[in-house]
Structure 1
Amino acid sequence: MAELRDILQSHLVDERASWSMGSFGAVAEFHQEKGEYLEADAPGLFARATRRGAIRLNAATVDRIEPVAYETLSPKAHRWSHALALCLPPREAAGNRRDTLAELGSDEEAVRPADRKAVLFDMGLALPQCDFCIRTEDPDLLALLRENAGRSLFDPANPAGGAILKAHPHRVALTRIGRVEVFQKIGGPDTGGVSPPGPHTHLLPQLLKSGRTHSANTPIPDHLVPLGYLHPANPVMDGMGEDTEFDIDDHARFQALYDQFARPDLPLLRKAVLDALGRKLEPAAFTAPSDRFGRATLRLTLRQQHRLAERFASHAYGELVVLWREVFDKVSDTATADDDAPGH
């Protein structure tokens, strides 16, 4: 079985893989483009930076990460998403949970040396497993942030929130397993109301109110907390959520991760579905799981088999899969599906 350290290093140099760190409602994402110039590149130290963003995994904690592979349904019935959640036990995962704006000093751990004199401020979001920060050397913004330190950014009378949105400082998501840094503009009025392509952040107050550590659609065990996510290349869509031709190799690569790191019962369920299809059973002969993640796994398996049947022109098998999908993966049933490309 592949070692997690090797998996992380190999995906760090894969331009099609992306990464995210944060909590439910506050996320920093790192993406690359093919051939994009690297301002820092140290895969052995789990660090990489471009002109638009950066990522570093803490080498000291990599071996303590407990990975959880999972797939999620898309609102579009011909595709799906997948990821490897990078988790720790709750006590190890806990952030500082500051609830007001706080100055943390110079960011001496910044991935790029040029950023290490800039000043970090915790935004005070009180996230369970992430300190969501901004970083700046702008003297005017620094003065305003210092003047309003100790106040909540959610206070309508606090001018710091508006100033941050206007100044577009770097955002830095700090977790116990590492950091993601975003240098691009904050999605909002200056970007046409959408996040820019490449590294970006999402801050959604309505989700923050839930106090959750992650989406209810991800099968993370209760004894673990996800701090970050590796998003390997998806076989049916690109990083912007646009459809692509089905890539059998990308599909196979993630299935290997899924078999190794998914919740143990879900790969077994997938094998049971494939066995039933191989024996040409009618859908009525198969008992759908009662658990939400089991039902999602059934639907995901059928979607993937449909794409495989299309890819290899297996007409009879494809007709059987369609019959199963009419029973178990109704197009109208999208209540448990995730947005493929939030913010874009």
Structure 2
Amino acid sequence: MTDALPHPGPSGLAALLRHAVGDPDTAWSLGSFGAVAEFMRDPGETVRLGERDADGAVLLETRTARGGLRIRLDPALRPFAFETAAGTGWSQSVALCLPAGACAMAGRRVVTELGPDSDAIDPKDREAILFDLGLDLPQTDACVRSADPRVIERIRAGAGLPMFDPDSPLRDAWPALSPERIFVCRFGRIEVSQPIPPPDGRSPEGPHTHVLPRLLAARRTHAATAPIPEGWTPCAHLFPPHPLKDLMGRPIPFDDARHAAFQTLLERWGDPSLTALKRDIRGRLERGEPPAAESGLDRFQRMTVRATLRQVAAMGAPAPRLAEWSARFDRPDPDPDAAPSGH
């Protein structure tokens, strides 16, 4: 149902996005299942924040030396907040969704030269040459950009072939070339200026990209663990500050304010049935009720229960029978999206 997500109204959407763009503790991603660009910045990092009107639309922008982000307040855009049980903890994010029929991008299948990147966030980059990688993603054009004549010549040599074609001269050349990566959706883009690590290397801290051929082969728009309502496609995500870890995933003492802030987002822009389930589980834990022998919970309901139990444990909230509940419900489902890291 395409009416499953409530309209936040222009002011509600603008407030959410303005706060997130201006917050150095919020991370972002843009892409599709198997190919994603991520943007984040350090609190003390030199940054240029901007907001400007173009064709009647408000553009929110931020650019550092390592990467950039642009989000346009598209009236069709809907935020959807959700949590998943991840590892021994939980993740939290807000998906920025478009109707499934309104998110399609160019769908190119071979490396294709597009000309100067006239939409670059920084004006100095608008003469650099943009190339579509030809990944044929449902909601994203995954591109690279360079102003270096040597790099441009090398990429042109692989134009007209799929990125992963065994005969492509680009197949193993990307780490050495390390062009900027530009991932674009209908309402925004993420630019990554950091080098591409070798296949056995690690992604750098800060903005980076991942391209995983095995996941791309699934031809999905998002992970199976994300409870995106039917009829909607997540084109980008914002990740508000987590109560148990910093932007780099390092553990921090539990932060009540961060936790409460995301619970407010869940109540406003989450799935009402899942937020009601969370409230019910919390109430039963506080009352010291034993775990129910419930059956028939779907995947997303089970994840909600697990995330709630882990949050109660992290908060140290009164829950005398928490161990019983965890033994009953905190058994993770197999992860169909598990894959080794890659770039």
The verdict on a shared fold, with TM-score over 0.5 as the criterion, is yes
User: Which whole-Å CA distance do the structure 1 matches of 2:188 and 2:335 have between them?
Assistant: 30
Task: Answer with 159-168 or 101-110: which moved more.
Answer: 159-168
Q: CA deviation at 1:215?
A: 0.3
1:187 equivalent to 2:197? Answer yes
In structure 2, the partner of 1:293 is 300
Give, as a single letter, the amino acid of the residue that structure 2 aligns with 1:134: V
In structure 2, the partner of 1:199 is 207
Give, as a single letter, the amino acid of the residue that structure 2 aligns with 1:57: I
User: Which whole-Å CA distance do the structure 2 matches of 1:159 and 1:306 have between them?
Assistant: 52
1:242-269, CA deviations, whole angstroms, 9 ceiling, x for partnerless residues? 2111100000000000111112210111
Contact 2:157 2:169 in 1 (8 A): no
User: Which whole-Å CA distance do the structure 1 matches of 2:12 and 2:37 have between them?
Assistant: 26
Q: CA deviation at 1:125?
A: 0.4
Q: Helix, strand or coil for the counterpart of 2:173?
A: helix
Q: CA deviation at 1:109?
A: 0.7
In structure 2, the partner of 1:129 is 139
Give, as a single letter, the amino acid of the residue that structure 1 aligns with 2:244: V
User: Which whole-Å CA distance do the structure 2 matches of 1:302 and 1:15 have between them?
Assistant: 29
Q: Summarize the alignment of residues 165-314 of structure 1 with structure 2, pairs less than 5 Å apart.
A: 165-188=175-198, 193-284=201-292, 287-288=294-295, 290-309=297-316
Match of 2:15 among 6, 30, 33: 6
Give, as a single letter, the amino acid of the residue that structure 1 aligns with 2:327: E
TM-score w.r.t. the length of structure 2 is: 0.90
1:113-137, CA deviations, whole angstroms, 9 ceiling, x for partnerless residues? 1111101000000111100000001
In structure 1, the partner of 2:105 is 95
User: Which whole-Å CA distance do the structure 2 matches of 1:338 and 1:153 have between them?
Assistant: 22
Larger helix fraction of residues = 1
Q: 1:47 to 1:253 in 2, by over 3 A?
A: same
Q: CA deviation at 1:188?
A: 1.8
Q: 1:222 to 1:171 in 2, by over 3 A?
A: same
Q: Helix, strand or coil for the counterpart of 2:42?
A: coil
Q: 1:212 to 1:337 in 2, by over 3 A?
A: closer
User: Which whole-Å CA distance do the structure 2 matches of 1:262 and 1:202 have between them?
Assistant: 27
Q: CA deviation at 1:96?
A: 1.0
* Root-mean-square deviation (Å): 2.0
In structure 2, the partner of 1:329 is 330
Contact 2:223 2:337 in 1 (8 A): no
Where does structure 1 lack aligned partners over 5 or more consecutive residues?
Answer: none
Contact 2:211 2:342 in 1 (8 A): no
Q: CA deviation at 1:141?
A: 1.9
1:75-132, CA deviations, whole angstroms, 9 ceiling, x for partnerless residues? 12xx211000000011211111100000111011111111111010000001111000
Contact 1:75 1:334 in 2 (8 A): no
Q: CA deviation at 1:19?
A: 0.5
1:86 equivalent to 2:96? Answer yes
Q: CA deviation at 1:335?
A: 2.3
User: Which whole-Å CA distance do the structure 1 matches of 2:171 and 2:143 have between them?
Assistant: 13
Match of 2:77 among 65, 88, 102: 65
User: Which whole-Å CA distance do the structure 2 matches of 1:323 and 1:43 have between them?
Assistant: 51
In structure 1, the partner of 2:69 is 55
Contact 1:20 1:228 in 2 (8 A): yes
In structure 2, the partner of 1:74 is 86
In structure 2, the partner of 1:22 is 31
Q: CA deviation at 1:221?
A: 1.1
Q: Helix, strand or coil for the counterpart of 1:174?
A: strand
Contact 1:75 1:337 in 2 (8 A): no
Task: Answer with 272-281 or 151-160: which moved more.
Answer: 272-281
Q: Helix, strand or coil for the counterpart of 2:284?
A: helix
User: Which whole-Å CA distance do the structure 2 matches of 1:255 and 1:338 have between them?
Assistant: 26
Give, as a single letter, the amino acid of the residue that structure 2 aligns with 1:325: S
Q: CA deviation at 1:334?
A: 5.6
Identity %, equivalent residues: 40
Q: 1:343 to 1:74 in 2, by over 3 A?
A: farther
Give, as a single letter, the amino acid of the residue that structure 1 aligns with 2:238: L
**Count of aligned residue pairs for this structure pair:** 327
User: Which whole-Å CA distance do the structure 2 matches of 1:263 and 1:50 have between them?
Assistant: 35
Q: Helix, strand or coil for the counterpart of 1:258?
A: helix
Contact 1:13 1:43 in 2 (8 A): no
